[in-house]
Structure 1
Amino acid sequence: MPPARRVPPRGAPARRPPVRRDPDPVEDDWFDDYTDAEVNGVETITGPRATPGSVPARGDRRTSAGGTSTRGRSADRGRSAERGRSAERGRSVERAGSSVRGASSARSGTSGASRQPARSTARGTAGATRTRPVRATPVRGAARSRSGPGGRRPPARRGLDGSATRAPLPFVLASPRRRIRASVVLMVAVLVVIAGRLAQLQGFGSSAYAEAAHQQVLRKSVLPADRGMITDRHGYPLARDIEQRAVYADPFVMSEVDVLTAARKLAPVIGRSENELRKLMAANGEARFVYLGRGFQRSVGDEVTKLDLPGIGVLDERGRSYPAETLGSNFVGFTSRGDNDVLEGRAGLEQAYDDVLHGTNGRRQIEADPSGREIPSAQSMEKEPVDGSTVRLTIERDIQWEAQRAIAEAVRNSEADGGTIVVMQPKTGDLLALADAPQYDPNNITERDQDAIGNRSTGQAFEPGSVNKVITMAAALDRGLIDATTPITVPSSIERGGVRIADSEPHGTEHLTAAGVLARSSNIGTVEIAERVGSANLEEMMRAFGLGEKTELDFPGETAGILPAASDWSGSQAATIAYGQGMSATAIQMASVYATVANGGLRVAPRLVDAIIGPDGVAQETAREPERRVISTETAATLTRMLEEVATDQGTAPAAEVTGYRVAGKTGTAKRYDAASGGYKGYVSSFIGFAPADDPQVVVEVVLDNPQKGAYYGGEVAAPVFSKVMSFALTTLGVPPPGTKPESLVLSLDR
């Protein structure tokens, strides 16, 4: 049986349990427990006496003033209190805590069993109620006292105004009601957001989102209009549109496996490397359209279609083709793709007549599945394209071909920098050929072709030299100052404006006729005749022939040349301009001068475009400029007879003769201005003439820029080329040889 408990005699003081000392009473967690017992409005601690620095014995229980146990409630509150708050609360213990503890101690001595001290060990007071240990806690609502050795209390926390303050308690979501309330608020907020989004999608923005969804399945494509052709005078195409195929990818709908498969299968078909195709599709992974190749023939497109690769498609498109390759490329020009993938002219007639040649593209709209394939049952919209108009030229294909062959050969043989040939009909102004060297193929333009792009006959001006003497003679003849037999004394040299002037071949004093001055191309004799005309009259005549202004061709890059006003001519310039130095002109301008003489003194503007043929096949001829008389018929006839003597053994260009035909023309050998050095370097060699002289049908001009191999005189390097081209042109046009022979003119009075 258990041993009897030892009960202290009545009246004996209760044995106080041993006191535990805490090294840091402020941080002890027993400081954080509260009870609901209140005495005089403040919370108190019941049980054994709680003195500063003491700790209740184990087994003691907290009770309210009426003795009711508060064990469960105080325990819950003790567990929920934060240990971190104990130190802060310990510093703010109310000053009245000591009085409350005193009152509590007094009550513990007079009360019954509920006032008995709890046992702190196994050995305790008999009859004492066994309770859970309690800790001395500060009174709620008042400043706590800090227990410690010696019972010293810490000073109370005070505010700026000196009044005692209580440290703010952090918000702790310990209450179930608070948790439920917060959860409800959060759920309501989420539901409101969802409801608002649904209202936006299905209500306010439903139509916009529906349209956006519809646009994702739409595929829009351009139905290209055929660009009009450029043809020669007989309808032979020099430039035309052709049917082509383009291969494209939609990387957005393609997986990595699709990309690899497409690259492997397409590489041998479209002629691009597998690695190149793979990189092209991978680099545009978010794109919906990437060209993999363009300009393929129809058969290539059909082969790609048969592969049936996801995300890979074939488009019909129009490309530009130049079936004659280099033929006429200098004036036809070329195209490239511009805005909206439309072909646009970049040079020559392609550029000048771009608004006429290009049509109006059509449109096609389809619905496609995620793989990019058209949905057959879906609605589609299509607008038919309107083709462009055809530009028909005055060019004769065969003569153009011969002219290009001849000038290319001459440039190659003479090692010239370049050359040009103009073939023209004097009565109509129609240009039959405009040939340049070097040449290029507009089907395949490379970097080395940059110098060949452009039209020399309209875009490059040069000092014409002796071919300009025909204007000086025309001015004197038309004013009656000379005739073909007028004697002209030609010394070995003359000086004008401090500049010594001589002929190309040294000689002593000669006595020539006006016809002899022109036939032998005497600079000195020409200056003497020009001085009879006067600078102002000479300038007027030159402008009447069309020098100093652009031709009516209005060709891209055309230049007007340079013709200063007579009032600005220096003493030497007034002399040199008479024989074609000190001013500049283009090949087309000089060809027009000789065409005017060949046409009996009537100037007809050069024509390159003959008619515009609409998509309906109706041709509209281009307007012709009105003829303008420059010199009289008599002057033109006399001048023609004088020019015939040039292409004889007595003149400077016997090599210009055309078997069976009478030829009238003039050589030119001019000093060449070099822009790089700022001075004269090399020569420009030329010959311009027409035939038959008694009924002119064709004018041919040959110009060689800076020939460096062999002779450089126009009569030696340009005249032979003229003879070949003129002979071919007359034969091609079916011009019969004349049945007349010219009368001989007296050229020199020394015999």
Structure 2
Amino acid sequence: MIKFFKKLFLLPFRKVSKHAKKENLSPERNRKHVGKNLFFLAIAVFAIFIFRLVWLVTVNHIGDTNLKEYATYNYQSTIKVPAKRGTIFDRYGTPIAVDSSNYTIYVVLDKKQTDVNHHKLYADKSEFPKLTNFLNSQLGIDKKLIETQLNLKGAKQVQFGTKGSNISLKKMQDLQKAADDQGLVGVGFSATTARSYPMSNVGSGFASQFIGTTTSNNDTLVGADGLELAYNHVLSGKNGVETFQKDASGHPLPGTTKVIKQVENGSNVYTTIDSRIQELLESKMDQAAADSGAQQLSATIMTKDGQILATTQRPTYTPDTKNKATDQKYFTWNSLLFQSSFEPGSVMKTFLMSSALDSNKVNLNATYNRTKFKIADVTIYDADFNENEGQYQKPVMGVSFADGFMMSSNVGMSTIEQNMGYPLWKQYLQKYKFDMRTRTGLSGEIASALPAANVVSQVQSAFGQGIAVTQIQLLRGWTAFANEGVMLEPHGVSQIVNPNDQTERSVGREVIGKPVSDSAISKTLNLMEGVDTNATYGTAFTNLGDPQDNIAPNSPLIQINGQPAAVKTGTAQIAAAGGGYISGLESNLYSMVAMYPASNPDFIMYMNIKLPTKPWTLHYISRVINPVLTLAEARKSEIFQSTSVTKAGAVKIGAYKDKNPGDMADQLRQEILQPVLVGSTTNPGSKIVSQSIAANQKVDANTRILLLTNGDPVMPDMYDWTKKQVEQVAKWYQLKVTYSGSGNKVVDQDVAASANLKRGQSITVTLGH
């Protein structure tokens, strides 16, 4: 290009010189000729510059450089505005999980780093020993690692592994002060986005496996487990984008900021947890773990309408012990509440007895002999026979079924199951929904398993063996005992608040069926109170008392303000890895459910202890249940106070066709809706084929939505449904419905829930109030 312009510029002068010599022109004529040539040269150069300018404006490139982008980079910046992750609160607004910053310690080695007065801001070799002792004593970092990092060839700044990262704000401030006091130079801290769990810092974990944790993905927090994972899409916001102009020095110019995309912060999630009850439960569980030496413990307290007030397990973790959590031998990140199934033992007898009473298959005053029960090739004995080397400790002959329940007789419950017949017992297991996950919106909920297709497992399920359930399924079933036979869905979230539009969605009472009558429930609760108060047969009646828990001798073991509770104790054998059960006198899972008040419960509490290493006593459980239920009773007015909503948020219905039914049910509950799956979901290819509310409609929170699956037709539990919802299922299955009674809600149906249906079948539905 330079050679071209050089030739172009010199060409006229060469021509003029040559022409002048040839023509022998006078100086005047020669000047005119030169001027003429210069004029045309100027026009040519100007044309070239205009062409180049047009080219640059049009193409915006010089070589590989994009001029527009280069100019924008120099005078305009585009930045990401990170969205704030929503906060998780307890039911009253106490923060449980909040955004914060963690810090990583580093040491500057770059000798160019000085301040304006040329004072060094780096550490030199003479200070390495002092730095090594400082980092080792303050953070426990291995000295060899420190020395290796400080002596890295060519390094300008070094860090010190995991022990030098994830430092809390307070710890960072303490370290900075300590470094300043010791005159250490070059020590600094870099901040990263983190999640803080302030309630866990007061002692033990704070519902740790239930609340969960987060992990960082490109400096954005995402849920890793627990509620943090399940409600990640609710808690996570959407990042915004802004641009601003800057001067030649790169400083932002005032008033030039433009919002390209508005930031949307994540919604805040209010749990149902009561912090005071949770804190008490944590401390009492620490005591129970130490006293029993058990492998695992878990406990949950819930209100009659399904609100989880507190839940925890051992082993657990706190933010400070999270990195060492797996050092505990029997630790699991899974929540034992809903991510672990097990054989529950004798607490299952509450469901058997209520089912037998509801179906009139047991006479409580009738008697039986509890010597043994033979089924196929298995002989079933009662616990006191097995525990005392074949010698019964309580009456054997002519025992009533009522007394058999209170003493937790396996022989008596097996007899009742045989009187019912397994098809009827299975029907009640399905009414209590032990064949279905709760789908409360908690990620990773594990499936349960009804008894295998053999008579031994079917009979053993009467006393909680040969059947696998989750704790949250048990708690769901027991809500029927606190609501006159009406079963409610448990939930751990009470409200979702969107900070962007200030709308709120509050979780309401969710009725999911009525497995048994209120009469059957009332009689079963009376028997459960006898478990606590009957001096002869009650397994929770204590002769010795418990001075540590202020329980006098010869009195109920479970007492709340001096009053007994409705109780059922449980002992379950634990399946061995190679088949069969673990052997040993105390190689069991011990448990208890307690409901208070006994006749009309407001609270339900369940606790179990797996494989204690100390001599077994129910006091390990009573010392947890008594104080926790007592505190819950004292806080009852606050717990059951109604929550006002300032601005109710609506839910936009999506298109759910071809989606996985279970996943969709979880997602809709996270949106504060009440999904009901209609049809079998047992097939691997199960999917949704229709929905009762069309896509794109906006509905209120807690609206019931029916989702039809491609599985075999199955009768849903229609209790509390509207006539319109019944008609929707009738349309899907071409059912012929006859209505009886008057009212606007279903109170009964002639085809049992979970029973197989045939298209075109006739059913009768009773309406009431």
TM category, shorter: 0.5 to 0.7
Paired residues of 1:672 and 1:684 also in contact (CA < 8 A): yes
How much does 1:444 deviate? 5.3
Structure 1 residue corresponding to 2:316, chosen from 416, 433, 439: 439
Q: Distance in 2 between matches of 1:702 and 1:437?
A: 11
- The answer to whether 1:591 aligns with 2:494 is no
1:247–1:226: structure 2 CA closer, same or farther, 3 Å change rule? Answer: farther
Matched, 1:341 2:244: no
Q: Does 1:467 align with 2:352?
A: no
Q: Write the distance in 2 (CA, Å) between the matches of 1:280 and 1:300.
A: 30
Seen in structure 2, the aligned counterparts of structure 1 residues 416 and 348 have a Cα distance that, compared at 3 Å, is: same
Residue among 442, 452, 455 paired with 1:571: 455
Equivalent position to 1:477, from 341, 357, 361: 357
Correspondence for 2:741: none
Aligned residue number for residue 628 of structure 1: 513
Q: Is the 8 A contact 2:79 2:241 kept in 1?
A: yes
Matched AA of 1:537: L
Answering whether residue 346 of structure 2 is matched by residue 497 of structure 1, we say: no
The residue that corresponds to 1:375 in the other structure is 251
Which segments of 5 or more consecutive residues in structure 2 lack a partner in the other structure? 8-47, 159-163, 181-185, 386-391, 542-556, 640-769
Determine helix, strand or coil for the equivalent of 1:640.
helix
Change in CA separation of 1:334 and 1:219 when aligned onto 2, cut-off 3 Å: farther
In 1: Cα distance, 2:78 partner to 2:322 partner: 32
Deviation at 1:699, TM superposition (A): 0.6
Quote the offset at 1:618 in angstroms: 2.8
2:539 to 613, 632, 652: 652
Task: For residue 678 of structure 1, report the CA deviation from its aligned partner.
Answer: 6.3
2:123 partner amino acid: R
**2: CA distance, partners of 1:435 / 1:417:** 14
Conserved 8 A contact 1:604-1:625: yes
2:308 paired with 1:403: no
What is residue 495 of structure 2 aligned with on the other side? 611
Query: Which residue in 2 is equivalent to 1:222?
Result: 80
Q: CA deviation at 1:399?
A: 1.1
Mapping of residues 236-251 of structure 1, within 5 Å? 236-242=94-100
Q: What residue number does 1:264 align with?
A: 123
Aligned residue among 576, 581, 588 for 1:674? 576
1:493-572 counterparts in 2 under 5 A?
493-506=372-385, 507=392, 509-564=396-451, 568-572=452-456
Aligned match of 1:664 in 566, 569, 590?
566
What is the TM-score with the length of structure 1 in the denominator?
A: 0.61
- Cα offset for 1:443? 5.7
Native 8 Å contact 2:484 2:521 kept in 1 = yes
Q: Which amino acid aligns with 1:257?
A: K
User: 1:670: how far off?
Assistant: 0.5
- The alpha carbon displacement at 1:478 in A equals 0.6
Letter in 1 for 2:593: I
- Asked if 1:707 is matched to 2:612, the reply is yes
Aligned residue number for residue 726 of structure 1: 629
1:210 aligns with 2:67: yes
* Counterpart in the other structure of 2:484: 600
State the 1:247 CA deviation: 9.4
Q: What SS does the aligned partner of 2:66 have?
A: helix
Partner secondary structure for residue 424 of structure 1: strand
Q: Read off the aligned partner of 2:614 and give its amino acid letter.
A: K
For residues 619 and 443 of structure 1, the distance between their equivalents in structure 2, rounded to whole angstroms, comes to 33
Deviation of 1:610 (Å): 0.8
Distance, in Å, in 2 between the alignment partners of 1:367 and 1:297 is: 34
1:229-269 CA deviation, whole Å, 9 max, x = no partner? 111111111111236788999x9xx9863499654399899
Counterparts in 2 of 1:374 and 1:443: CA distance versus 1, 3 Å? farther
**Counterpart mapping for 1:270-419 below 5 A:** 276=149, 282=155, 297=169, 318-325=193-200, 326-338=205-217, 340-363=218-241, 374-377=250-253, 385-419=263-297
2:590 aligned to 661, 680, 685, which one? 685
**Deviates further, 553-562 or 200-209:** 200-209
- Cα distance in structure 2, aligned partners of 1:698 and 1:624: 15
Q: CA deviation at 1:657?
A: 3.2
- The runs of 5 or more residues in structure 1 that have no matched partner are 1-183, 189-194, 286-291, 737-751
Are residues 280 and 481 of structure 1, via their aligned partners in 2, closer, same or farther at CA, if it must alter by over 3 Å?
farther
Relative distance call for 1:362 and 1:644 in structure 2 (3 A) is same
Higher normalized strand content (fraction of residues): 2
SS of residue in 1 equivalent to 2:337: helix
Q: Which SS does the other structure have where 2:316 is aligned?
A: coil
Contact 2:86 2:266 in 1 (8 A): yes
Counterpart in the other structure of 2:16: none
Superposed displacement of residue 462, structure 1 = 1.3
SS at match of 1:264: coil
- SS of alignment partner, residue 310 of structure 2: strand
- Contact map agreement 2:81 2:239 (CA 8 A) in 1: yes
Q: 1:683: how far off? A: 0.5
Label 1:444 to 1:642 Cα distance change in 2 as closer, same or farther (>3 A).
Answer: closer
Q: CA deviation at 1:277?
A: 7.7
Secondary structure of the equivalent of 2:206?
A: coil
Q: Which residue does 2:11 correspond to in 1?
A: none
Aligned residue type for 2:568: K
Q: Is the 8 A contact 1:226 1:318 kept in 2?
A: no
RMSD: 4.3
Name which of structure 1's ranges 693-702 and 610-619 shifts more when overlaid on structure 2: 610-619
CA contact (8 A) 1:399 1:728 kept: yes
Contact 1:672 1:680 in 2 (8 A): yes
What SS does structure 2 have at the residue aligned with 1:550? coil
- 1:673 match: secondary structure: coil
Alignment CA distance shift 1:255-1:701 (3 Å)? closer
Q: Structure 1 residues 209, 280: closer, same or farther in 2, change over 3 A?
A: farther
User: Using the alignment, how far apart are the partners of 1:320 and 1:443 within structure 2?
Assistant: 12
Q: What displacement does 1:532 show?
A: 0.6
- Evaluate the alpha carbon distance shift between residue 277 and residue 201 of structure 1 in structure 2; reply closer, same or farther with a 3 A threshold: farther
Indicate conservation of the 8 Å contact 2:291/2:620, yes or no. Answer: no
Cα gap change, 1:546 to 1:281, in 2 (>3 Å): farther
> Partner letter of residue 459 of structure 1?
Q
Structure-2 separation of matches of 1:275 and 1:215: 43
Q: CA deviation at 1:480?
A: 1.4
**Partners of 2:347 and 2:592 within 8 A in 1:** yes
* Distance in 2 separating the partners of 1:420 and 1:549: 22
SS across alignment from 1:699: strand
Q: 1:333, 1:454 within 8 Å by CA — same for their partners in 2?
A: no
Letter in 1 for 2:93: G
Q: Which moved more, 1:437-446 or 1:584-593?
A: 437-446
Sort the Cα spacing of 1:318 and 1:634 in 2 relative to 1 into closer, same or farther, 3 A.
same
* SS of residue in 2 equivalent to 1:727: helix
Kept after mapping to 2: 8 A contact 1:602/1:629: yes
Contact 1:238/1:328 (8 A) holds in 2: no
Alpha-carbon offset, residue 336 of structure 1: 1.3
- What is the CA–CA distance in structure 2 between the aligned matches of 1:464 and 1:547, rounded to whole Å? 12
State the identity %.
25
Q: Deviations over 1:76-131 (max 9, x none)?
A: xxxxxxxxxxxxxxxxxxxxxxxxxxxxxxxxxxxxxxxxxxxxxxxxxxxxxxxx
The Cα shift of 1:421 comes to 0.7
